[in-house]
Amino acid sequence: MNNQMPSTNDRPTLISVSDLTLAFGSRVIQHDVSFEVKRGSIFAVMGGSGCGKSTLLKSMIGLLRPRQGTYMVGKDNYWSGDDQSRIQIGRRFGVLFQSGALWSSMTVGENVALPMQMFTSLTPPVIRQLVELKLGLVGMLHAIDQYPSELSGGMRKRAGLARAISLDPDILFFDEPSAGLDPITSARLDDLILNLRDGLGATIIIVSHELSSLFHIADDGIFLDAGQKTAVAHGSPTWLRDHCTDPLVHAFMHREQLDTSSPHENG
Amino acid sequence: MNTSVNGAPQWQLQPEANRTLVTLSGNWIAQEGRIPEFPDSALKEIRQGEPVEFSTDQLGRWDTSLISFLWKLKRSALEAHVDLRMDTLPESAHKLLDLLPENPPQPQPPAPHHFAPVAAVGQLTLDTLNEIGCVSEMGTAAARGGFAALVGRGMMRTVDLMTDLSAAGPAALLIVGVVNFLVGAILAFVGSVELHKFAADIYVASLVAIAMVREMSAVMTAIIMAGRTGGAYAARISTMQGNEEIDALQVFGIPVSSYLILPSVLALAFTMPLLYLYGCLIGMFGGFCVSYIMLHVSPLGYFHETLQALPLDQFTFGFIKSFVFGTFIGLTSCRIGLKAGRSAADVGIAATKAVVVGIVGVIALDAVFAVIANVIGI
C-alpha cells in the first residue's frame, strides 16, 4: 500500500519522534507513532476528530509524558532529562493554543510582554517596542491595551500567535489554528504562518483537520487513525490527497464518506 | 546571513556621494538584551531626493529585534520623506516588514479621572438600590418557580435540588459542628470567670444556652455557609456565565431563576434552620464539656438549668432568623455570580464578593432582628 511519501527534502532533521505511545491510564490513545520534522518545514498532524492529534501535541510541548518512545529535539532527548532540561528545551517552543489561551487578567500587550519580562534582560521600552512589533506582525496592534474578553475568537487567536512568537522561538506548535475562523481570516492566518516561517526561519508543527489550509501551507505530515490507534500515512497533505491509497486517508482528503459496505481494515 | 559574524548589534549612517548607506553589523538577537534604538532625528541630515540604502555584509544572526529596528527606521523615513531602498535586505526581513502597518495607532490617553465624592456617593446609592431591586425580583421569580414546582409544573430538576441539599447540608455538618462546639466552649469559659466569683457556676448553662440559641448558632452557621456555599454558588454561576451556559439556558427559554437559582436558594433555606438546631445542640454540648471538666458542674444540674433557661419562642425566633439568612445568602451569591464578567479573574472576584456580601449582610440582618426582638419583647 502506498502510504509513505518519498523523501524529497534534504534539510536537516530538527525533531524526531520514534515509537511514541500515548495513553491516559490504561486507555491507549496512539501507539508506535514515528516521524521526523525537517528544519524550516511546516509539518501537519492530521486525522479525524478524537484520533489523538491534540494528545500528540500535548506530549510534544511537554504537558503529557508519553508511555514509551523517544522524542528528540535537535540533539536533546526531551523526556529523558529532568524538569530543568525540559524547561531549557521548552524555551525554543512557541505554542498557539486552540482558543488562544490568553491570560484573562492581562491586556493583550501584557500577555505578549510577560515571557520577555520573565526570560530576558530587555529594558521596558525595548520590550514595549518588541511587543508592538509582534502585535503589528499579526495585525493586532490596535488591540494592545484591550483585554482578551473584549476580543473576538479570531483576534484572540492572532493575539495568541503574537504571544507564541514573543521569544522568537525556532519551533512553533499550532493547535487547530483555523478552527472557528471565517475563510478570509483563516486564509490570512495561513499567509501569516507562511510569512513567519520564512521570516523567522521557524519550524512549524500544525495540528489541524482544516483541509484547504493544510493543502496551502503544509509540506510534510502524518495521518493518525483513531481505529488502528497509530499513524497510517506519512507525507504532505497534497501528496496524501493525490497518491495515498489508504481508504481512510483517501476519504478524508477528498471529503468523501467512508465506504463501510466493503471490509475495511480501519474498522 | 553571515554566520561568522560575532559581537553586539550595531548600525552606522554613512553619507556617500549620491546616497546614504546604513551599515548593519553584529548579531541582532532580542534575548541577548542589547538592541540599539533608532533615534527620530537621525534622518534629518539627509538631503532631499537622496536614497538611503543598506549594507548587510557584516550582519550576523538576527531575529525580530532587527525587524523592530528597521520598522522604526522605515517609519522615520516615511515621516522625513526619505526614499528607502530595502532591496539589499534579506528577503525574509522584507516579508515581515511588509506585514507591519506603516502608521501604528497612537495609544489613547487614559480618561481623566475626576474626584467627585457627591457623584460617587449618589452612584453608589443608586447602584445599591438597583441591586436590592434586582435581588428582590430574582427572589420573587424564584418563589414563583417554587410554587410552580409544587403543583408539578416547575422547571427545577429534583436531582439538582438533591445535589445542592447534600452539598449545603450533610457535607457541612462537620465544620458547623466544630465551630459551634468551640463557640459554646469559649462562652462557658468566658462566663465562668464572672459567675465563679458569685459561686454561680451552674448559670454557665443558661448563659451558653441563651447565647447559642438566640445569636451565636444562627450567626456562626450563616457565616460558615456564606463562606462555604455562597462562594461556591457565585463561582459556579460565574463560570457558567463564562462558558455561555447561561446564554444557552436563556435561548432555550429555560428560566434561570427557577432552573438554576431556585434549587440553590431552596437548599440553603432548608438546611440552614436544621444546621442552626444542630449548632445549638453542639454548642450547648461544648459548654457542658467545659462546665463538667473544668468547673465540675453536675450533668443533671447543667441539663436542668439549660431547660429552665430556654423558652420555646427563643428557638422559633432563631429558626426564622436562619431561614432568612439562608435565603439571603443563596439569593445574593447567585445574583453576584450572574452579574460577574466572563474571565477567570471575574470568577475570583465574584466568589470573594459573595463571601463578603454574605457575611456583612448576615450581621446587618442580625442587627435588624435584634431590634425587632427588642420591640416585640422576646
pLDDT over 70 at A262, yes or no: no
pLDDT over 60 at A263, yes or no: no
In 3D, which of B234, B261, B232, B247 has the Cα closest to residue B346? B234
Is B269 in a helix, a strand, or coil? helix
Query: Measured between CB atoms, which of B33, B101, B343 is closest to A104?
Result: B343
Helix ranges restricted to H, A120-205: 124-137, 153-164, 183-200
Mean of the pLDDT values across residues B340-357? 90
Kindly provide the b/e burial profile for residues A37-46, where b requires at least 16 CB atoms within 10 angstroms of the residue's own CB: bbbbbbbbbb
CA A10, CA A1: separation in Å to the nearest integer?
25
CA B37, CA B8: separation in Å to the nearest integer?
13
CA B5, CA B205: separation in Å to the nearest integer?
89
Interface test with A, best of B68, B71, B73, B89 (most A CBs within 10 A): B68
Size of interface A-B (CB pairs under 8 A): 84
pLDDT over 70 at A266, yes or no: no
Interface test with B, best of A93, A118, A152, A168 (most B CBs within 10 A): A168
Question: pLDDT tens digits for B207-234?
Answer: 999 999 999 999 999 999 999 999 999 9
Question: pLDDT tens digits for A173-204?
Answer: 998 888 777 788 788 788 888 888 887 788 99
CATH number of A40-61+91-253: 3.40.50.300
pLDDT over 70 at B3, yes or no: no
Contact call for A192 and B99, based on CB within 8 A = yes
Task: Quote the minimal CA–CA distance from A125 to chain B in Å.
Answer: 10
The pLDDT-based confidence of B5 (bands split at 50, 70, 90) is low
Residue with cell 538584551: B33
Max CA-CA distance within chain B?
Answer: 114
Give the residue, B354 or B74, on which the prediction is more confident.
B354
Interface test with B, best of A92, A93, A116, A137 (most B CBs within 10 A): A137
Give the residue, B300 or A210, on which the prediction is more confident.
B300
The pLDDT score that the predictor gives to residue A42 is: 92
CA A264, CA B120: separation in Å to the nearest integer?
72
**Cell matching residue A103:** 491570560
DSSP label of B290? H
pLDDT over 80 at B35, yes or no: no
pLDDT over 90 at A87, yes or no: no
**Torsion angle of alpha carbons B143, B144, B146, B151, nearest 10°?**
150
pLDDT over 90 at B83, yes or no: no
Q: Which domains does chain B have, with CATH numbers?
A: 10-99 (3.30.750), 150-376 (no CATH)
Distant-in-sequence, close-in-space partners of B230: CB < 8 Å, separation ≥ 6: B329, B330, B332, B333, B354, B355, B358
Asked if B239 is an interface residue toward chain A (Cβ–Cβ < 8 A), one would say: no
**Torsion angle of alpha carbons B290, B294, B299, B304, nearest 10°?**
-70
Question: pLDDT tens digits for B37-65?
Answer: 888 777 777 777 788 888 888 888 888 88
CA A64, CA B158: separation in Å to the nearest integer?
39
CA B108, CA A105: separation in Å to the nearest integer?
20
The pLDDT-based confidence of B2 (bands split at 50, 70, 90) is low
CA B68, CA B38: separation in Å to the nearest integer?
10
Chain-centre distance for alpha carbon B66: 43
- Poorest-pLDDT segment among A12-26, A135-149, A174-188: A174-188
Taking a C-beta distance cutoff of 8 angstroms, is the pair A118, A167 a contact? no
The pLDDT score that the predictor gives to residue A9 is: 64
As a whole number of Å, the end-to-end CA separation of chain A is 17
The pLDDT score that the predictor gives to residue B218 is: 95
The pLDDT score that the predictor gives to residue B233 is: 94
Sign of CA dihedral A24, A30, A31, A37: negative
Taking a C-beta distance cutoff of 8 angstroms, is the pair B330, B268 a contact? yes
**Cell matching residue A228:** 488502528
Query: Measured between CB atoms, which of A119, A136, A168 is closest to B104?
Result: A136
Average pLDDT in chain A: 85
Contact call for A129 and B72, based on CB within 8 A = yes
For the beta carbon of residue A4, count every other beta carbon within 10 angstroms.
12
Average pLDDT in chain B: 87
The pLDDT score that the predictor gives to residue B105 is: 67
**Cell matching residue B210:** 441563651
